[in-house]
Amino acid sequence: MRNTLFIVSLYLILSACGEKSNEVKFISEGNPIVTDKFTADPAPMVHNGRLYLYVGHDEAEEGQDFNITEWLCYSTKDMKTWTDHGCVLKPTDFSWGVGEAWASQVVEKDGKFYYYTTVQADAPYNSKVVGVAVSDSPTGPFIDARGTPLITDDMTPNGPRGWWNDIDPTVFVDDDGTPWMSWGNGTCFLVKLKPNMTELDGNIEILKMPKFVEGPWIHKRGNLYYLTYASMGKGRETISYATAPSMDGPWTYRGVLTGMAENSFTIHPGIIEFKGQNYL
């Protein structure tokens, strides 16, 4: 959820979020894709033949575990030549946000791009919340779509995680246009969204996933739905997954997908199909 499973970073002349004048291109030489910044929580999206990758920018200094301050965007047409679009959103772009740009995902629906984020919220929330911003472009500028968080701590059972229960949103739009959102830390939550993408459409349910920690990701392949998530391994997180015949379940645990990261406690999956290939 923090540090780096997928270290995707690149050269960037810093600019205000949403400005595109300082875009920089680079050639990837393999993993890690980019090497001049630490990034976290990769969320890929495909639109008009281009893969966009949204990540948190970790600026932790010596002695800090992490300090994720903004969300960056990169894109590519061939997985080789990449464009750095710079910062596209910050927690303070929400009037109620005060910091900590944790995991996020962007999805497109009806020509709009919706940025679902984890943000540390100011009073009266004083906890991690899920917010949503919207743009006409995959590279922003993104603006707060509601004026208030979408999910707050009083909407979900706290359990052992307390004030940071509501993190790591993933949103999936089904073939019939129905949007679904999953999120959570220690508990995996699932809810249907309204067609406007900014309101809940029904009750929040709990999915009992073995060893669930955080970082869920939903995608579909053929007629099968996949829920991939960070799970607890032997001292550090691994990635596990479950499948279901529909978003209503039943969900069947399928086991561990990857082992632990070598240099990070946390790990965060993002899965996408792009030009006939599947990427994790």
Query: pLDDT (tens digit, 9 = 90+) per residue, 120-149?
Result: 999 999 899 999 999 999 999 999 999 999
| SS3 call for 173 | strand
Convert the pLDDT of each residue in 156-196 to its tens digit.
976 656 678 899 999 999 999 999 999 999 999 999 999 99
Look up the pTM and report it. Answer: 0.91
pLDDT < 70 positions in the chain: 1-21, 158-162
Domain CATH code at residue 82: 2.115.10.20
The residue to which tokens 């969900």 are assigned: 251
Specify the amino acid at residue 111. Answer: G
| SS3 call for 93 | helix
Residue 93 in domain: yes
Q: What is the pLDDT of residue 138?
A: 98
Residue 5 in domain: no
Average pLDDT, the chain: 90
Residue 4 in domain: no
Q: What is the pLDDT of residue 14?
A: 34
Q: What is the pLDDT of residue 164?
A: 83
Q: How many domains does the chain have?
A: 1
For residue 68, count CB atoms less than 10 angstroms from its CB and return exposed for 0-12, middle for 13-18, buried for 19 or more: buried
DSSP codes joined into one string, 195-258: TTSSSB-S--EEE--TTEEEEEEEEEETTEEEEEEEEE-SSSEEEEEEEESSTT---EEEEEEE
Q: What is the pLDDT of residue 87?
A: 95
Q: What is the pLDDT of residue 5?
A: 35
